[in-house]
DNA sequence: TATTGTTATACTCTATAACTATA
DNA sequence: TATAGTTATAGAGTATAACAATA
């Protein structure tokens, strides 16, 4: 077992943590977008490693979660939930269907929509994916400590909603 | 306040903040990769809005910062610092050169390398970009509060280094 | 008219291989 | 042989427009 270093977090003060390569990253380490992007890339790489046995991408996994927890949604609704354009969700849904994880059922009321459900095989795969992804979370927790880990979610979710309402800055020139 | 335990416990309370659309996002809101990705997308969109007057992308901005703070680096070194493949950095560097922000100087010692420097126009543009990007940071700070904002950097930088050393998990089957 | 699923398409990012000129 | 800059290329991811079937 790797030693659980629960030292009181580095505290960030004046010696702000930076990236390797010994260069001056100064303003960048204070640009949240840059730091979040670098973290996201690293986390996805780590995710691919942990999930490699399951051959599942982050996007596929997120779609399976939404379908598993909200059975019967239409493709458009699932795409909206994931903030994916419905046109781009077609290939993703088809892939999941061809792998036998997802079924598209015709709906009585509306002949245009297709209701998405997990197949029995999909449910089985999903429970394994849930276990693997939780294993991945554990790796991330160990990397940064449980308090820091837990503290990240709320602010990041709020950041994800930045822009949600606003569209036009101070001075707009309509026309 | 959540008690600081380092139990492998799932903790995570019950009322975790989630995304809009009223659907059940349950495991996803506990998947750091998903939350970080959604935040990154929103922050970049916000960045594009704030920086629209300067017509600069996050990647271009990050390159300008590295060149401004570390004058004389070769293209390969700048690309490495930004975790961009040197092949993909060519177009980026060329764009910055054509806009008159960056100059590529031949080096006396090595005829292969090109040393990158900001031009006077580049330095002028950079100071304006610095102002605008700081303005953007202020928006993000206001969105989530300054304490949460400040607390994000250190753990995210550490997350960005996940994987940096390790390549093979516990059980590997070489060949 | 509006909406669902779909196709086609384009544009950006990213990853790999290979070339050239130097070293 | 190795390295810096470059080209070409292929693969993802994403965005828009448009279409047929249905509402």
Domain locations in chain A as residue ranges:
28-159
pLDDT in tens, A19-54: 888 999 999 999 999 999 999 999 999 999 999 999
| Class at the top of the CATH hierarchy for domain A28-159 | mainly alpha
pLDDT in tens, B80-94: 999 999 999 999 999
The pLDDT of residue B20 is: 80
The pLDDT of residue A97 is: 97
Q: Which of residues 136-175 of A touch strand C (CB under 7 A)?
A: none
Q: Which of A3-7, A99-103, B32-36, B127-131 has the lowest mean pLDDT?
A: A3-7
Q: Which nucleotide is nearest to B73 (CA to C1')?
A: D4
pLDDT in tens, A47-67: 999 999 999 999 999 999 999
The pLDDT of residue A14 is: 44
CA nearest to nucleotide D8 C1': residue: B87
Which parts of chain B have pLDDT scores under 50? 1-14, 167-175
E-state strands within B49-145: 102-106, 114-118
Fold of the domain spanning B56-133: Arc Repressor Mutant, subunit A (1.10.10)
- The single-letter DSSP state of residue B8 is S
pLDDT in tens, A107-163: 988 999 999 999 999 999 999 999 999 999 999 999 999 999 999 999 999 999 998
Give the integer Cα–Cα distance in Å for B39 and A162.
Answer: 8
The pLDDT of residue A20 is: 80
The answer to whether strand C lies under 7 Å from the CB of residue B38 is no
- The single-letter DSSP state of residue B74 is B
Token output for A28? 């960048």
Q: Is the pLDDT of residue A6 over 80?
A: no
CA nearest to nucleotide D3 C1': residue: B112
CA of A42 to C1' of D2 (A): 29
Find the helix or strand (DSSP H, E) in which B92 lies.
helix B86-98
Give the integer Cα–Cα distance in Å for B78 and B56.
Answer: 18
Give the integer Cα–Cα distance in Å for A41 and A47.
Answer: 10
Residues 6+ apart with CB under 8 A from B58: A33, A34, A37, B44, B47
The pLDDT of residue B17 is: 79
Residues 6+ apart with CB under 8 A from B101: B64, B118, B119, B121, B122, B125, B126
A-B contacts (CB, under 8 Å): 252
Q: Which nucleotide is nearest to A116 (CA to C1')?
A: C5
Positive or negative, the Cα torsion across A12, B64, B163, A127? positive
């Amino acid at each position: 077992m790797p030693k659980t270093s629960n030292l009181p977090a580095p505290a960030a003060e004046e010696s702000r943590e930076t990236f390797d390569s010994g260069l001056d990253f100064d303003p960048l380490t204070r640009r949240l977008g840059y730091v979040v992007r670098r973290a996201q890339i690293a986390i996805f790489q780590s995710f691919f490693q942990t999930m490699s046995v399951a051959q599942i991408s982050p996007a596929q996994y997120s779609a399976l979660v939404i379908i598993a927890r909200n059975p019967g949604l239409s493709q458009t609704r699932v795409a909206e939930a994931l903030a994916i354009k419905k046109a781009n969700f077609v290939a993703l849904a088809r892939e999941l269907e061809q792998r036998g994880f997802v079924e598209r059922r015709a709906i009585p009321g509306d002949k245009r929509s297709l209701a998405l459900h997990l197949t029995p095989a999909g449910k089985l795969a999903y429970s394994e994916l849930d276990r693997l992804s939780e294993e991945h979370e554990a790796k991330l927790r160990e990397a940064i400590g449980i308090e820091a880990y837990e503290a990240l979610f709320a602010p990041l979710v709020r950041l994800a909603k930045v822009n949600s309402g606003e569209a036009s800055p101070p001075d707009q020139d309509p026309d």
